[in-house]
Amino acid sequence: MAEHRAAKSGAALDAQKKMASKWDGERAAIAINWVGQRIGEPLSTDGSMDSIYDILKDGLVLAKLANWVKPGSVGANKVSKAPSMAFKQMELIGLFLKAIDISEGGLVKKAELFQTVDLYEKVNLVQVILTIEALGRALLTEGREGFGKAESKGETHQWTDEQLKAGQNIIGLQMGSNKGASQAGQNFGKTRAIVD
């Protein structure tokens, strides 16, 4: 677990401090309370990293959430009691990630998922909360009991032919303009002398 990792130093320590500075205890508490409501268990937290870690580290809560999101994604024998062995805990975390991964038929994009080590070894708990928030948004978009704001479905525009042709007469700033200037008379550096 996290206590068995070597202490970070140098650039790794700076990166860890930068990640920790992004921690928002209020957002984390909202996410955990939402998870507790979905699985039917009151989960109390003060919003600290340690509190969130203690709730989620064994993977049991996440496995139950996976079964709520996608029934049958984690076997009933695996969610009957909290595992004590490290590989079993990591397996439950991995099953949760697989259940919500969009490439596996879930709802959350790969870029928004955390890695098992982020939670299990307490490497990046900010990303764990971001994943839960992404799941909440995706569920809202699907019309289920999520939280946060639903994702945008996009907006289509219908342009007339007249509007499309009007855009052809505009010279964009990215195309540049020399305003009548030319390179005539430019001289960079010393001129080359040709002697017979």
For the chain, the domain total comes to 1
pLDDT at residue 178, as a whole number: 66
Q: Map the chain to HEC letters.
A: CHHHCCCCCHHHHHHHHHHHHCCCHHHHHHHHHHHHHHHCCCCCCCCCHHHHHHHHCCCHHHHHHHHHHCCCCCCCCCCCCCCCCHHHHHHHHHHHHHHHEHHHCCCECHHHCCCHHHHHCCCCHHHHHHHHHHHHHHHHHCCCCCCCCCCCCCCCCCCCHHHHHHHHHCCCHHHCCCCCCCCCCCCCCCCCCCCC
pLDDT, averaged in runs of 10, over the chain (196 residues)? 74 86 93 95 92 95 96 92 93 96 93 95 93 94 86 84 84 66 71 72
pLDDT at residue 15, as a whole number: 84
Domain coverage including residue 90: 23-141
pLDDT at residue 196, as a whole number: 63
The model scores a pTM over 0.85: no
Residue 107 lies in a domain: yes
pLDDT at residue 136, as a whole number: 95
pLDDT at residue 177, as a whole number: 65
Residue 149 lies in a domain: no
Query: The domain spanning residue 67 has which CATH number?
Result: 1.10.418.10
pLDDT at residue 116, as a whole number: 95
Residue 132 lies in a domain: yes
Residue 121 lies in a domain: yes
